[in-house]
Structure 1
């Protein structure tokens, strides 16, 4: 192959008059050995005097700056985490006249009410039966009876006061009953509720300890107390509820 002068691609190549005979074979200068050899020569050339030292100092200063910035950010984040409280996301709902809350992490789905099928000799006041949630058969429980909440007549009126977490209480035109599917340790249960209010994000500082009288009651499932718009909301201990369901509920008559 003919060896052409330096930068021949700018004279007789694609950037010149395209008169190079090699273009018939290589189509473009970037496919030519001469062009490739010139590129390797450019990359392998000796660095100018002081070039390496200059860039060494620049990179060293940049590394020190980034390291200092990272250290400051880490200290600030650690200080923030140590001084700030835990952030919780809770789903708030109503059963009877009681407002309750569970962490969003254990709630897999909120669905319209489905027919509950009673199991002979197994269903009781807590274990209501089984429901079909889009082809999946799940056990349905009565959270009202498990918590020992009083039974109240369902509200037939289409206008009732409802808890609004936007900062004020309002008039809800229609209140729909729903079913909540919970998943705790890969075990799923369903329970009906009278109303779904909202998903609320709050700091753990906003939760109060349960009163001593409630805390010492054997059948209490309240972990913390939350007050919103004058409403008392019981933050339930979902792990305690799970173990109660797993070990006791299905054995009750």
Structure 2
């Protein structure tokens, strides 16, 4: 049985008469736990009966038609994928000059930069302090130090960002909240590229010089827009 959703934001929220008492605290419905819970319910709800089978037939038919057309034209560019090919969703972001990616399922939230409060005698080059994210106190780490990322040429970085100004007018720094084995952490990044889906065949093995390095965190490499992640 699916959980019912209360669309209170349309009645007493910002899309209604704004009479909700919680607005004095959260300012906007999108900051409310009820609104976020409704979003999770929508994303996690069960698909309607026959929905998966219907789309399986549609996609299979489209593939068969494309394969038949390619065969008629003598094209060698179309390669049949295995049925068990897994689709992976990745969040791609930038720290300094390096483009990195994490599985989307570990990312719980992407938010604006929050103040980091240091703890006496508890900080080091990786642990920066604690951050208040929507009332939850999380430990903040510096991914750039954990991965020992080089700072790079700041002048060249500024030039690259200026070249992108016609496409991306403003590049915002963000914080990413992740959860692994019931433990939540937050870390700052210089840019969020977005969420992208890849087939498992697109994930390349890491070079030996990286995979054999002690304490390496790189598991796979992907190519996107001529960038390696």
The two structures have a TM-score, normalised by structure 1, of 0.54
Unpaired runs of 5+ residues, structure 2, are 1-56, 61-79
Residue of structure 2 in register with 1:97 after alignment: 97
Give per-residue Cα distances to partners, 1:206-243, cap 9 Å, x unaligned.
1100001100001210000001121011xxxxxxxxxx
Is residue 184 of structure 2 the alignment partner of residue 204 of structure 1? no
1:220 to 199, 205, 216: 216
Give secondary structure in 2 for the equivalent of 1:213. helix
Q: 1:159 to 1:150 in 2, by over 3 A?
A: closer
Give per-residue Cα distances to partners, 1:106-146, cap 9 Å, x unaligned.
00000000000011111111000000001110000000100
Give per-residue Cα distances to partners, 1:138-166, cap 9 Å, x unaligned.
0000001001101244966895356xxxx
Residue of structure 2 in register with 1:193 after alignment: 189
Residue of structure 2 in register with 1:182 after alignment: 178
Aligned ranges for residues 1-253 of structure 1 at < 5 Å?
83-152=83-152, 153=154, 159-161=161-163, 171-233=167-229
Cα distance in 1 for residues equivalent to 2:163 and 2:184:
32
Cα distance in 1 for residues equivalent to 2:226 and 2:197:
17
Q: 1:158 to 1:221 in 2, by over 3 A?
A: closer
Q: 1:159 to 1:144 in 2, by over 3 A?
A: closer
Residue of structure 2 in register with 1:22 after alignment: none
CA RMSD of aligned residues (A): 2.6
Cα distance in 1 for residues equivalent to 2:180 and 2:166:
34
Q: 1:227 to 1:156 in 2, by over 3 A?
A: closer
Q: CA offset at residue 89 of structure 1?
A: 0.4
Unpaired runs of 5+ residues, structure 1, are 1-72, 163-168, 234-253
Cα distance in 2 for residues equivalent to 1:157 and 1:130:
33
Q: CA offset at residue 172 of structure 1?
A: 1.3
Cα distance in 2 for residues equivalent to 1:150 and 1:204:
29
Cα distance in 2 for residues equivalent to 1:110 and 1:218:
30
Give per-residue Cα distances to partners, 1:179-210, cap 9 Å, x unaligned.
00000111000000000001001101011000
